[in-house]
């Protein structure tokens, strides 16, 4: 879905509202002063002076009001379910994960609920796409997010990860189970209140996701939406992403202390070198206890270690 945003002066806003008056609809968004719905576009005027145009006709309608001194923004394209109009300002429970591509360390999954009236608070606390934030910055703001919002964070340590992976579980199944569990925890904490929607940062098609968790006794299905780049679509997913990332970093800190070296992130050549050194100094069992052992890094580290032994 294409979103366009214009920042307009008050006189222009009045003309815009008058133009769409016969298409006006009611909105529960406390930050909106006017909303209108066209066959292929949704227009929302915010108290800040910004106007959001959403839908297939967004660019056409934006062009009617764009001015040289206006600010125009577009959200990154995403794949997945079609989201309702004004979704970014609704009460949403979001979930995300991290650590899946890192040889060292766990997988962490977090879910976080941000009600409509606290969307702006999340932004004031510094929330945006975690890929745009440094690890140090996320460590700094995560305590404020945890204090402000209802959340759950799960950490799957390496020992348990290696155990279930050896049993034939894919990363997709592991992530699906963790997402479902984190969402259950938050829904239980916030009951009897319910979110308007649940948004999962998509890593699998809907059918595959639910096949992964088909044997679970309690499966979250109501109002669940899936989208890639979900952290750009609602701050709840961005909050979850930050909380999950900091949980991952904290476990990496602990493992680094146990290993006696600072463990690198990712799965590149620097990781192979670090793993080889640990293999030589602490042995294969210890290396397995702090890694995702089925990654190709294990064999690369073994080859590097064997080479070092010969020299």
Binding annotation for a divalent metal cation? 96-97, 201
Rounded Cα gap, residues 171 and 208, in angstroms: 12
Q: Which residues are annotated as a binding site?
A: 96-97, 201
- Buried/exposed code over 171-182 (b: 16+ C-beta within 10 A; e: otherwise): bbbbbbbbbbbb
- The packing angle between helices 235-259 and 135-148, to 10°, is 120
Rounded Cα gap, residues 178 and 156, in angstroms: 8
Backbone angles phi, psi at 253, to 5 degrees: -60, -45
Rounded Cα gap, residues 101 and 99, in angstroms: 6
User: What count of other Cβ atoms lies within 10 Å of the Cβ of residue 48?
Assistant: 11
Residue from 179, 186, 181 nearest 113 by CA:
186
**Residue 184, beta-bridge partner list:** none
């Amino acid at each position: 879905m294409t979103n366009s945003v214009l920042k307009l002066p008050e006189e222009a806003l009045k003309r815009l509202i008058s133009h769409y008056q016969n298409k006006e609809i009611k909105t529960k968004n406390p930050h909106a002063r006017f909303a209108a719905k066209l066959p292929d576009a949704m227009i929302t005027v915010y108290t800040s002076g910004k106007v959001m145009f959403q839908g297939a006709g967004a660019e056409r309608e934006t062009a009617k009001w764009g001015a040289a001194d206006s600010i125009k923004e577009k959200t990154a394209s995403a794949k997945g379910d079609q989201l309702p109009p004004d979704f970014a300002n609704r009460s949403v429970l979001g979930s995300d994960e991290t650590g899946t591509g890192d040889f060292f360390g766990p997988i962490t999954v977090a879910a976080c609920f941000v009600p409509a009236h606290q969307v702006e608070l999340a932004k004031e606390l510094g929330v945006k796409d975690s890929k745009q934030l440094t690890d140090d910055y996320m460590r700094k703001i995560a305590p404020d997010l945890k204090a402000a919002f209802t959340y759950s964070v799960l950490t799957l340590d390496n020992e348990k990860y290696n155990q279930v992976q050896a049993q034939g579980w894919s990363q997709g199944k592991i992530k699906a189970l963790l997402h479902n569990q984190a969402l259950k925890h938050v829904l239980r904490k916030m009951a009897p209140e319910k979110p308007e929607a649940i948004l999962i940062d998509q890593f699998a098609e809907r059918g595959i996701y639910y096949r992964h968790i088909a044997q679970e006794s309690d499966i979250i299905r109501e109002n669940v939406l899936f989208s890639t780049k979900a952290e750009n679509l609602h701050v709840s997913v961005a909050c979850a992403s930050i909380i999950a990332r900091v949980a991952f970093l904290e476990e990496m800190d602990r493992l680094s202390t146990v290993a006696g070296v600072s463990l690198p992130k990712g799965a590149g050549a620097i990781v192979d070198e670090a793993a080889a050194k640990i293999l030589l100094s602490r042995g294969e069992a210890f290396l397995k206890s702090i890694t995702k052992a089925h990654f190709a890094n294990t064999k690369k580290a073994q080859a590097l270690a064997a080479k070092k032994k010969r020299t």
